[in-house]
């Protein structure tokens, strides 16, 4: 079964041209890494991060790195990240964008900035 990005237009409406271009470029990797349910979580995660209004960096990092996270630790983890509290998602996505090997996430009570 082939999964087409055009089938998810309602989730993609809010993405900027740059974010949409990056999603188009990463779509082949995403369809290899995720099941149809995982694709839905992946796109909902991108839309949710976009909805936070904190700029494109987190959205772009999610688009690029979530398929790799799925491949490395399983798509269920990505689904949990998409549904979980925002600060850990943002920290994980930003850390993966910088150095996926040497980053250890520490719990924090500080607000996400």
* pLDDT tens digits, 63-103: 999 999 999 888 888 777 766 655 455 555 555 555 544 44
Percent of the chain past pLDDT 70, that is, above it, reads 71
| Interacting residues of 54 by C-beta distance below 8 A, sequence separation 6+ | 90
| Domain spans, the chain | 23-97
- The full 3-state SS of 39-65, as one line of letters, equals HHHHHHHHHHHHHCCCCHHHHHHHHHH
Residue 46 confidence (pLDDT): 92
Its pTM stands at: 0.71
Q: Which of 9-18, 54-63, 65-74, 103-112 bottoms out in mean pLDDT, i.e. has the lowest? A: 103-112
| Interacting residues of 3 by C-beta distance below 8 A, sequence separation 6+ | 31, 36, 39
What's the mean per-residue pLDDT of the chain? Answer: 79
């Amino acid at each position: 079964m082939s999964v087409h990005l055009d089938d998810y237009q309602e989730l993609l409406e809010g993405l900027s041209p740059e974010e949409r271009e990056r999603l188009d470029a990463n779509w082949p990797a995403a369809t290899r890494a995720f099941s149809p349910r995982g694709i839905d979580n992946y796109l909902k995660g991108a839309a949710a991060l976009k909805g936070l209004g904190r700029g494109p960096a987190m959205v772009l990092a999610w688009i690029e790195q979530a398929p790799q996270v799925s491949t490395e630790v399983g798509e269920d983890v990505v689904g949990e990240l998409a549904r979980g509290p925002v600060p850990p998602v943002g920290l994980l996505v930003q850390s993966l964008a910088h150095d996926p090997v040497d980053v250890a996430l520490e719990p924090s009570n500080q607000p996400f900035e």
